Structure formats: structure tokens, C-alpha cells
């Protein structure tokens, strides 16, 4: 049984995490804390793992306090800079038995899509990405699609793969979409959708497609619980959930 404290427990992700921890047979929710509560309360409640879904301005101090107190950390709060990550890495040298996971995305499907498409992309002549979201989203393309494109581009560069062929000479209205690190990325916005991504690859006579669909915030929970289960077995700082996945 893993004793878990959730910080940011009244936020949307935090509240969903509390319910998921309570439902997991191998975990106990020992503290559901919020702004103003102390990490010390998590310790007194007997927590072994702290899950942080707070706000960018609070998360770094929370993690350092948790390390000080001997808690493993699973962090979903965004806004971590390279400098802030380096400070956590440094601090952990004093406590080499502790694990800290800082992950921008806990959706297993999205994480797998990024990782597996990067692995596969060197074997295909062409790669393009279509991301699809609800029409209230203000930015295009999505951050996930940008990361996916960057990962694919890096993997293809390392393997020495040529750019995807494209004979387009007439495209007066921009139908070919954005180009991110040399990869074409298209953004669809449709009422009824939530968050979806399709990575398409092609060779002569052959297509290969990876698609991920996220319909609901609960889709992040298997990833959060995976983090909680594995964090004690991965001492030191890990950035990105795929560091815990054996692929």
C-alpha cells in the first residue's frame, strides 16, 4: 500500500487524482491539501509520495520542501524552466534515495504516440501530423503536436533520413498547413472533439498511422497512478512519463 498526499486537491486535476488514488487498490490517500497547507502536513499524515497539481508559482517550493522531508514526488504542474529543473537535480544529490518525476503530460496515449512515432519515423519516406481539438482552443497547432513533430524531426535527423517529399508549387490558400521542424502539421477544430492526434507515415505502397484520442480528464489518471507506483524505483530526477515506460 502506497501512502499518497495530493497537493492542489481542490483543483480539477487534483480532485480527479484524489478520486483515482482512492479507487486504486494498492494506494491510500492520506492527505488532500491545498494552497496554504504545508508539505509538513503530508509528512505528518504518513505520506510516502506527494502528487503536485498546484500552480507554477508554488510547485518548485513544494518539491524542495518534499525532498527535504523525504517524500518522493510526482509533479504535473506546468511552468518548469531548465534552471528550476537543475535546482531539483542538485538538491536530490543530498537525498539519492528519492525519486522525482516531473511530467508535462500524463496521457499515456499521447506519451506513447510521441515516443513510438519518433521510433518509427526513420523507416518512412513521408511523415505528417494532423491534430484535432474542440473549437474553443485558441492556439494552433497544439503543444503536443509541436513536441511530436520535434521528436520525429530529431529522430529522422539522427538517422540521416531525407525530408518528406513534396512537389507542391501552387498552394494559394495555405492548405499544406504549418511546418514545424520540417514536418507538416495540420490543426482541425470541430465541435464535439476534445484532444486528438494522428501521425501518418508513408512509403511506396504502404501507410503507417498512430492515433491517440483523449476524451476526458480521467484519461490522465492511469499515467498519474503509474508515476506514483514507479517513482520510488527511479531515484533521481526524471522528466517526462516515458522515462518510466519500458518500450
Distance (Å, whole) CA 96 – CA 57? 26
What residues contact residue 207 under an 8 Å CB cut-off, 6+ apart? 200, 201
25 lies in the site for its own copies, by CB under 8 A: no
Q: Does 8 appear as a known binding residue?
A: yes
* Contacting residue, 38, 89, 97, 166, with its own copies by CB under 8 A: 166
Distance (Å, whole) CA 227 – CA 49? 10
Q: Give Cα 95 to chain centroid, integer Å.
A: 25
* Contacting residue, 15, 164, 229, 234, with its own copies by CB under 8 A: 164
160 lies in the site for its own copies, by CB under 8 A: no
Binding residue count for its own copies, defined by CB under 8 A: 78
Closest contact distance (angstroms) between CB of 226 and its own copies is: 7
Q: Does 144 appear as a known binding residue?
A: yes
Contact by Cβ (8 Å): 148, 117: yes
Q: Does 242 appear as a known binding residue?
A: no
19 lies in the site for its own copies, by CB under 8 A: no
Q: Answer yes or no: 137 catalytic.
A: yes
Contact by Cβ (8 Å): 131, 178: no
- Give the x-and-dash track for 69-98 against its own copies (CB under 8 A): ------------------------------
Q: Answer yes or no: 186 catalytic.
A: no
Q: Which of 64, 72, 91, 137 is catalytic?
A: 137
Query: Which residues make beta-bridge pairs with 132?
Result: 188, 196
Q: State the DSSP H helix or E strand holding residue 90, giving kind and residue range, or none if neither.
A: helix 82-92
- Give the x-and-dash track for 179-218 against its own copies (CB under 8 A): xx---xxxxxxxxxx------xxxxxxxxxxxxxxxxxxx
233 lies in the site for its own copies, by CB under 8 A: no
Distance (Å, whole) CA 64 – CA 87? 9
The single residue listed with the C-alpha cell 484532444 is 195
Q: Does 104 appear as a known binding residue?
A: yes
- Alpha-carbon radius of gyration of the chain: 20
What residues contact residue 6 under an 8 Å CB cut-off, 6+ apart? 14, 17, 18, 21, 29, 31, 32, 33, 50, 51, 53
45 lies in the site for its own copies, by CB under 8 A: no
Positions at the binding site for (S)-2,3,4,5-tetrahydrodipicolinate: 134, 143-144
Positions at the binding site: 8-13, 34, 76-78, 103-106, 134, 143-144
Q: Which residues are part of the catalytic machinery?
A: 133, 137
Amino acid at each position: 500500500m502506497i501512502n499518497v498526499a495530493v497537493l492542489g486537491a481542490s483543483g480539477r486535476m487534483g480532485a480527479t487524482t484524489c478520486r483515482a488514488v482512492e479507487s486504486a487498490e494498492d494506494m491510500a490517500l492520506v492527505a488532500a491539501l491545498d494552497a496554504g497547507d504545508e508539505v509538513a502536513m503530508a509528512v505528518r499524515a504518513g505520506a510516502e509520495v506527494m502528487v503536485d497539481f498546484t500552480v507554477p508559482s508554488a510547485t518548485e517550493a513544494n518539491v524542495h520542501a518534499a525532498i527535504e522531508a523525504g517524500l518522493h514526488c510526482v509533479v504535473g504542474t506546468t511552468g518548469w524552466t531548465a534552471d528550476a529543473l537543475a535546482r531539483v537535480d542538485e538538491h536530490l544529490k543530498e537525498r539519492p534515495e528519492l525519486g522525482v518525476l516531473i511530467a508535462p503530460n500524463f496521457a499515456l496515449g499521447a506519451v506513447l504516440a510521441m515516443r513510438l512515432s519518433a521510433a518509427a519515423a526513420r523507416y518512412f519516406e513521408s511523415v505528417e501530423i494532423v491534430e484535432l481539438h474542440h473549437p474553443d482552443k485558441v492556439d494552433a497547432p497544439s503543444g503536443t503536436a509541436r513536441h511530436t513533430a520535434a521528436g520525429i524531426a530529431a529522430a529522422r535527423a539522427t538517422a540521416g533520413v531525407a525530408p518528406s517529399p513534396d512537389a507542391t508549387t501552387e498552394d494559394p490558400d495555405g492548405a499544406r498547413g504549418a511546418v514545424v521542424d520540417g514536418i507538416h502539421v495540420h490543426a482541425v477544430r470541430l465541435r464535439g472533439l476534445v484532444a486528438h492526434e494522428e501521425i501518418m507515415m508513408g512509403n511506396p505502397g504502404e501507410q503507417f498511422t498512430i492515433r491517440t484520442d483523449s476524451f476526458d480528464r480521467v484519461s490522465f489518471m492511469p499515467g498519474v497512478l503509474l508515476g506514483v507506483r514507479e517513482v520510488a524505483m527511479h531515484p533521481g530526477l526524471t522528466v517526462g512519463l516515458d522515462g518510466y515506460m519500458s518500450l
